């Protein structure tokens, strides 16, 4: 009985113990004994991480067993760490050598973070390690040679770091290695020959390094090899012969770009398509391959991409009729073809490629006519280019069948005849380039049906007549190049087509009339050329509003009068040509202050007076002044006579009289000032009590702003907008940083903008609105009207500068080069809060009307502030859904791409307009693409681009954000 009780007690105790273990093993708060070595190693990993903004390591503490820490996985039996996954966690710091103590580790995933320093060689202790993923960090140093001791490695991902040195030869001993990705580093040396021992190797990705030498002939032994990506290196030699014995190969990508003297050479093997029947992607762009394209290429029936551009290939393009899956054929910049009539016969074979989207054949020697069979090419074709060849004859009418065509390049050939009218039916076209041909007739009026057209280049032909007024139906037209034709009519009618021109060239035609004043509305214009026409009259002052202009040519006309003073605002101009006109007056002094002006031609006019000696006038090779007989002075290289000044007795007497008058006026002024001071002091106390508590604005004058901005120096210029320029300044002896917006009062609407902004800002206060400190309205030292607004200085500039950086950040600037996902989200919330306040919490609802990245400013904490209230509208207190909204103007407000479409058809300003602009801004913030990006042509726009990508949104988000989450090579 005692034995029975003892056995029963033992069984019961065992049962309770197992139940207890089962219960607590399911509880994350229970600290199982575990392996102390693994725990200490993980704590060292945590200690080496200096930045954890997402709190990923918050669970790494004593209240949890380490097997339950975030990112940690353990084996069930021994509770040893087998996987450490901290990918895309925004972690910063270094990888501790103690990670080598996790002896059971099989997977180490640290990609898409900001780890720096070297890869610790202690990783070689991890003999069970299978996957090593460290890509998209800032790791430096060399790839540890002793990684070869990790004999179980299957994948190595080290791409997009700062690694240097050579690829270790010893990696060839990793017999189980299937993938090695080391792209986008600074690696040198050659591809190791030892890779021939990696019988399991399938993928090699080493693009964007500085690898040199030839590609080793190692592929004959690699039975499973399928992808070789060595783009953007300094490789030489030939393609290894053994690669053409591997039927498993699917991808070969060895492109070279902008590296003279580098690239692979030789000819392509005649059996290319037979040896690689499973080939899907073949790209050798930018190398030095010569010889013909192999006829056998058509046997690789799985090919969807062929890239052979920028080589030295010649001969006839073979039939590609079997490539039914072909999507892209890139053969431009070779010497293919011989100018023969049948050079383009292969295009008829491509009619069977029903997925064809891109066909680039420019810069070759193709002759003959465009075959009629292009009408039967795939309806999926979006890009067609045969520019810079020897193609003759007329443009086939069947080209109108390519209903999805977006970009059409036929320039620099020998095409003749009329432009087919049915091109106007290609609704998705955004670019047409037919320049430098012998096309005749008129521009078809049907071009006005292409509503998405943004670029029209018909230069250097023999076209004539007026530019069709129907082009006004192309509201997105920003580039118009019609130079060297026989067009006639009024320039005003052409200017009227679009207010969004950035590039406008009508030179060498027969246009008449005076230069249109409306050119001042082209605020985005950077290139303007109306030279060698028959224009007359004076140059309009409104040209001074085109502050973005860089190239301006009006030479070879009949223009007269002075160079307008308003041109002093064209501070970004680089080239200015006004020769061969009848201009008079003196050379404006502001031209010598233009820092970017590199070429100036004022020759053969009637200019007179002193020639400046600073700026561009210091360089005689950059400035041309011949043919102006009344000019004098300048640098000796101009060979102009010295200027003569009269110093008569009468002049000296006049100077003495002026001096006496000045002294008398000064004494009277002093007496007046003393009287004023007395009155001021007697009333000072009353004035101080009369000041309201709400009067918190700084008192500023033109003089104080001039001093604060160092004379409105260009070095202090931080931005230029539609109605003025913004300068950085310092008030109160360096204690108050300010931003000063100086209105360009020459610009139509600038004064109205100043009044609107003052009215909007005087009664609104919100943490996400740009704070106004003061306003100044008066005259400058020249007697001209002066208006300026003084804002709180925003240390981190505008959202535009962060989304689309245009220049290298100064070395002393510690700001990151891009915005993180969380920063973008916070800024988006800040903007939404500002709009909510303006729309719903002001005494009178306010509509901003110009919401865009350049009008969102960021302070030191990266908090968003909405600014620029020059276009605001005050709405009456009526229902939001009432369609009868009224505003003070029915004119379209805002910036192209952000302005809601209903404004374009006369709808009054309403709050939903701001909501539309905010939606566009959100899409731009998270895709990194402007709504005016060149890719959005025809009916394509940013909204449709995002909509089409759903739900695979990762394919269209900003690549900088993808780096935070991506695992792929």
List, by residue number, the catalytic residues: 850
C-beta of residue 434 within 8 angstroms of C-beta of residue 370: no
Label the pairing between strands 785-792 and 772-779.
antiparallel
Degrees, nearest 5: CA angle 347-352-355: 100
Q: Quick one: which of 492, 544, 547 has its CA closest to 514?
A: 492
The SS3 call for residue 954 is: helix
How far apart CA 636 and CA 157 sit, in angstroms, is: 65
Q: Quick one: which of 145, 152, 95 has its CA closest to 126?
A: 152
Residues in a beta bridge with 586: 608
How far apart CA 257 and CA 232 sit, in angstroms, is: 6
How far apart CA 236 and CA 254 sit, in angstroms, is: 11
How far apart CA 445 and CA 467 sit, in angstroms, is: 9
How far apart CA 759 and CA 767 sit, in angstroms, is: 18
Q: Quick one: three-class SS letters along 231-250?
A: CCCEECCCCCHHHHHCCCCC
Degrees, nearest 5: CA angle 938-940-942: 140
Backbone angles phi, psi at 194, to 5 degrees: -65, -15
CA 230 to chain centre: 26
The rounded radius of gyration (Å) of the Cα atoms in the chain is 36
Question: Directed axis angle between helix 911-927 and helix 942-949, to 10°?
Answer: 60
Residues in a beta bridge with 536: 558
Q: What is the dihedral of CA 824, 830, 831, 833, to 10 degrees?
A: 150
For 468, which DSSP code? P
Q: Quick one: which of 522, 450, 436 has its CA closest to 485?
A: 436
How far apart CA 688 and CA 361 sit, in angstroms, is: 79
Helix and strand totals (H; E) in the chain:
14, 54
| Residue 922, preceding peptide bond in cis (omega within 30° of 0) | no
Strand order in the sheet with 736-743: 717-720, 724-731, 736-743, 785-792, 772-779
Degrees, nearest 5: CA angle 236-238-243: 125
Q: Quick one: which of 106, 100, 101, 64 has its CA closest to 84?
A: 106
Question: Directed axis angle between helix 821-840 and helix 911-927, to 10°?
Answer: 180
- N- to C-terminal Cα separation, the chain: 71
How far apart CA 505 and CA 240 sit, in angstroms, is: 50
Length in residues, the chain = 969
């Amino acid at each position: 009985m005692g034995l029975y009780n003892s056995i029963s007690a033992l069984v019961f105790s065992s049962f309770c113990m197992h139940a207890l273990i089962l219960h607590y093993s399911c509880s994350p708060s229970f600290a199982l004994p575990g392996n102390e070595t693994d725990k200490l190693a993980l704590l060292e990993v945590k200690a080496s991480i200096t930045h954890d903004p997402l709190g990923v390591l918050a669970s790494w503490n004593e209240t949890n067993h380490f097997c339950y820490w975030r990112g940690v996985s353990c084996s069930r039996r021994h509770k040893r760490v087998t996987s450490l996954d901290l990918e895309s966690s925004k972690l910063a710091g270094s990888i501790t050598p103690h990670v080598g103590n996790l002896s059971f580790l099989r997977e180490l995933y640290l990609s898409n973070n900001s780890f720096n320093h070297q890869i610790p060689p202690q990783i070689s202790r991890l003999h069970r390690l299978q996957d090593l993923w460290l890509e998209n960090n800032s790791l430096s140093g060399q790839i540890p040679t002793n990684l070869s001791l990790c004999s179980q490695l299957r994948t190595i991902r080290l791409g997009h770091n700062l690694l240097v040195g050579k690829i270790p030869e010893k990696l060839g001993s990793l017999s189980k290695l299937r993938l090695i990705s080391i792209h986008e580093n600074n690696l040198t040396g050659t591809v190791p020959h030892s890779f021939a021992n990696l019988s399991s190797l399938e993928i090699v990705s080493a693009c964007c390094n500085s690898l040199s030498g030839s590609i080793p002939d190692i592929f004959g032994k690699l039975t499973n090899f399928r992808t070789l990506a060595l783009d953007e290196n300094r490789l030489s030699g030939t393609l290894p012969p053994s690669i053409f014995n591997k039927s498993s190969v699917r991808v070969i990508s060895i492109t070279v770009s902008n590296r003279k003297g580098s690239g692979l050479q030789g000819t392509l093997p005649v059996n290319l398509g037979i040896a690689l029947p499973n080939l899907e992607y073949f790209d050798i762009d930018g190398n030095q391959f010569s010889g013909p394209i192999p006829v056998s290429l058509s046997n690789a029936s799985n090919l969807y991409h062929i890239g052979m551009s920028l080589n030295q290939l010649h001969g006839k393009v073979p039939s590609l009729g079997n490539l039914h899956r072909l999507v892209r054929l890139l053969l431009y910049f070779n010497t293919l073809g011989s100018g023969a009539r049948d050079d383009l016969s292969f295009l008829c074979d491509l009619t069977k490629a029903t997925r064809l989207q891109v066909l680039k054949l420019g810069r070759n020697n193709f002759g003959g006519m465009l075959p009629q069979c292009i009408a039967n090419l795939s309806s999926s074709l979006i890009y067609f280019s045969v520019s810079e060849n020897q193609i003759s004859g007329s443009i086939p009418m069947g080209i109108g069948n390519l209903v999805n065509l977006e970009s059409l390049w036929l320039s620099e050939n020998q095409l003749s005849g009329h432009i087919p009218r049915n091109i106007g039916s290609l609704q998705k076209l955004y670019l047409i380039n037919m320049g430098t041909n012998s096309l005749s007739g008129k521009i078809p009026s049907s071009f006005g049906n292409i509503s998405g057209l943004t670029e029209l280049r018909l230069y250097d032909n023999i076209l004539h007549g007026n530019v069709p007024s129907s082009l006004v139906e192309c509201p997105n037209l920003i580039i118009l190049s019609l130079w060297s034709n026989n067009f006639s009519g009024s320039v005003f009618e052409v200017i009227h087509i679009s207010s969004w021109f950035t590039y406008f060239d009508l030179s060498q035609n027969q246009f008449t009339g005076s230069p249109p004043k409306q050119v001042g509305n082209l605020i985005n214009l950077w290139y303007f050329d109306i030279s060698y026409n028959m224009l007359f009259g004076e140059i309009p002052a409104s040209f001074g509003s085109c502050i973005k202009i860089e190239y301006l040519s009006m030479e070879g006309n009949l223009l007269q009068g002075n160079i307008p003073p308003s041109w002093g605002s064209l501070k970004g101009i680089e080239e200015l040509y006004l020769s061969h006109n009848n201009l008079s007056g003196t050379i404006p002094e502001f031209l010598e202050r233009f820092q970017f002006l590199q070429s100036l031609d004022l020759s053969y006019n009637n200019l007179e007076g002193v020639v400046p000696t600073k700026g561009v006038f210091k360089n005689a090779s950059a400035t041309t002044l011949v043919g102006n007989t009344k000019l004098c002075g300048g640098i000796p290289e101009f060979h102009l006579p010295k200027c003569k000044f009269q110093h008569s007795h009468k002049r000296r007497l006049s100077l003495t009289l002026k001096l006496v008058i000045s002294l008398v006026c000064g004494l009277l002024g002093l007496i007046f000032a003393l009287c004023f001071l007395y009155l001021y002091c007697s009333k000072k106390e009353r004035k101080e009590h009369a000041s309201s508590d709400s009067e918190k604005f700084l008192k500023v004058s033109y003089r104080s702003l001039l001093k604060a901005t160092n004379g409105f120096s260009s070095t202090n210029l931080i931005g230029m907008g539609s109605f003025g320029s913004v300068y950085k300044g310092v008030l109160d002896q360096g204690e108050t940083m300010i931003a000063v917006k100086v209105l360009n009062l020459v610009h139509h609407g600038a004064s109205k903008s100043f009044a609107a902004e003052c009215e909007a800002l005087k009664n609104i206060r919100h943490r996400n609105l740009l704070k106004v400190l003061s306003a100044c309205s008066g005259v400058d030292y020249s007697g001209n009207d002066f208006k300026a607004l003084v804002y709180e200085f925003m240390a981190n500039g505008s959202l535009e500068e962060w989304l689309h950086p245009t220049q290298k950040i100064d070395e002393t600037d510690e700001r990151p080069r891009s915005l993180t996902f969380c920063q973008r989200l916070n800024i988006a919330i800040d903007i939404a809060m500002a709009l909510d306040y303006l729309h719903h919490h002001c005494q009178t609802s306010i509509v901003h009307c110009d919401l865009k990245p350049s009008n969102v400013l960021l302070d030191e904490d990266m908090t968003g502030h909405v600014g620029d209230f020059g276009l605001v509208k005050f709405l009456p207190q009526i229902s939001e859904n009432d369609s009868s909204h009224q505003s003070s103007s029915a004119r379209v407000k805002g910036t192209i791409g952000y302005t809601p479409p209903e404004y374009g058809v006369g709808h009054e300003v309403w709050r939903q307009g701001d909501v539309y602009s905010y939606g566009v801004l959100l899409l731009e913030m998270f895709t990194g693409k402007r709504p005016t990006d060149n890719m959005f042509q025809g009916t394509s726009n940013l909204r449709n681009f995002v909509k089409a990508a759903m739900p695979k949104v990762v394919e269209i988000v900003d690549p900088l954000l993808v780096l935070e989450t991506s695992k792929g090579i």
